[in-house]
Amino acid sequence: MNRTHKVVHVVVAGDIGGAERLLVDLTTRPAESGAEHCVALMTPNPKLRAYIAASGVPIRDRGPVRADPFSYLWRAFGPGDVRWLRTVLKEECATTVHVHTYASHVIGVRAARSLGLPVLRTEHGVQHYTDPSCALFRSWALRHTDCVVAVSDYVRRFVSRRAPFVADRIRVVRNGVDTCYFAPASSSLSGPFTLALVCRLEPWKQVDLVIRAAARVPGLHVRIAGDGSACGALKALTRKLGITDRIVFMGYQSDPRPVIAACDAAINTSRDEPLGLSVMEALSMGLPVVAFDGGGIPEIVHDGATGWLVRRHDVEALAETLTRVAASRAEAARRGRAAYDFVQRECRIEMMCERYANAYASLRSARHADA
């Protein structure tokens, strides 16, 4: 590995989600990713700070920051935080700036441009392209980004339609799974057929549809691992439907493996899921997945092979599918074995790191050619 290649990741975020988990997966593998890494962190969330720190990745911490819209505007367009980030980049001898979340885009590009450094941006999702509040300088930041990594072909196509000027700078690198860590459990299951649902409990995840559909399938159990703003309303819905004995809320799980291992299949009902890291982790552990047919999901959940895709995005269609799924544990196990084989073949974390290494190397080569 070339020890002089240093990537500084700009993380301006409040949650622990797929983007933050990818960050840790990538930065803790310097040999595979072809670079040394450092995180320039701005967060109001001490849990996120602790999560990154526990990985052992070096952190340059701005300290607790506010997360309201005015603070974002001042951080992105004011002088103070850009000046701080410039200092971090210089002191870390950065060769590439890697931005991850919407809030990091403008500040990361501003600091990198002032030092003549290339910018790589991972598009973990597409929500900021449809949110009017994110429109300010969105195109400017994208025009001054040297390479865009989309986590799925769905994200690539979406960004290319919204910003055709960047289409030739987009490459697809799926999130990878540590298949040694997320490995199939050896124990056989008995008792009621059980689904695992691992996600943040936010409205766009549409967990309420899972609860409503499960209420229509007698004997079906669901274990929900996650927390978020919709948690209270989802628990109230479960009580209203009288299925608190079949829907278990387990809260946020730093290690979701025990939840997944205790289930027969996994489920995801997100609206236009960019890819679904938790889906890939379930597949890696040998669980088939039930999901809506949309977003990047069909790239990893293959109907009839590694899971079931629900074409109509409503409770009735979901309940019909779940009735078929719960009817045969043997069929679920067969698709689960195919799911494991698929991840081993196409989604291992080593493959993801190698592709990021290629992206970093391409940026560096292009910068040297221009010098």
Residue 181 belongs to some domain of the structure = no
Based on the domain organization, do 164 and 18 belong to the same domain?
yes
Residue 186 belongs to some domain of the structure = no
From first to last of its 371 residues, the chain has per-residue pLDDT tens of 445 799 999 999 888 888 899 999 999 999 999 999 999 999 999 999 999 999 999 999 998 888 777 888 888 888 999 999 999 999 999 999 999 989 999 999 999 999 999 999 999 999 899 888 888 888 999 999 999 999 999 999 999 999 999 999 999 999 999 999 999 987 778 899 999 999 999 999 999 999 999 999 999 999 999 999 999 999 999 999 999 999 999 999 989 999 999 999 999 999 889 999 999 999 999 999 999 999 999 999 999 999 999 999 999 999 999 999 999 999 999 999 999 999 999 999 999 999 999 999 999 887 666 65
* Domain span at 88: 6-176+349-366
Number of domains comprising the chain = 2
Based on the domain organization, do 335 and 213 belong to the same domain?
yes
DSSP string, 239-269: HHHT-TTTEEEEE--SS-HHHHHT-SEEEE-
Based on the domain organization, do 234 and 286 belong to the same domain?
yes
Closest of 32, 3, 1 to residue 93, by C-alpha: 3
CATH code, domain with 76: 3.40.50.2000
Based on the domain organization, do 163 and 304 belong to the same domain?
no
Residue 185 belongs to some domain of the structure = no
Based on the domain organization, do 30 and 166 belong to the same domain?
yes
Based on the domain organization, do 255 and 268 belong to the same domain?
yes
Based on the domain organization, do 44 and 163 belong to the same domain?
yes
DSSP string, 108-167: HHHHHHHHT--EEEEE--SHHHH-GGG-TTHHHHHHT-SEEEESSHHHHHHHHHH-GGGG
Q: So what's the pLDDT on residue 369? A: 61
CA 254/CA 307 separation, integer angstroms: 25
Residue 226 belongs to some domain of the structure = yes
Residue 332 belongs to some domain of the structure = yes
Based on the domain organization, do 125 and 201 belong to the same domain?
no
Based on the domain organization, do 308 and 353 belong to the same domain?
no
DSSP string, 271-283: TT-SS-HHHHHHH
**CB within 8 A of 212, min separation 6: which ones?**
237, 241, 315, 319
Residue 183 belongs to some domain of the structure = no
Residue 371 belongs to some domain of the structure = no
Residue 188 belongs to some domain of the structure = no
Based on the domain organization, do 329 and 357 belong to the same domain?
no
Based on the domain organization, do 280 and 254 belong to the same domain?
yes
Based on the domain organization, do 164 and 261 belong to the same domain?
no
Q: So what's the pLDDT on residue 370? A: 61
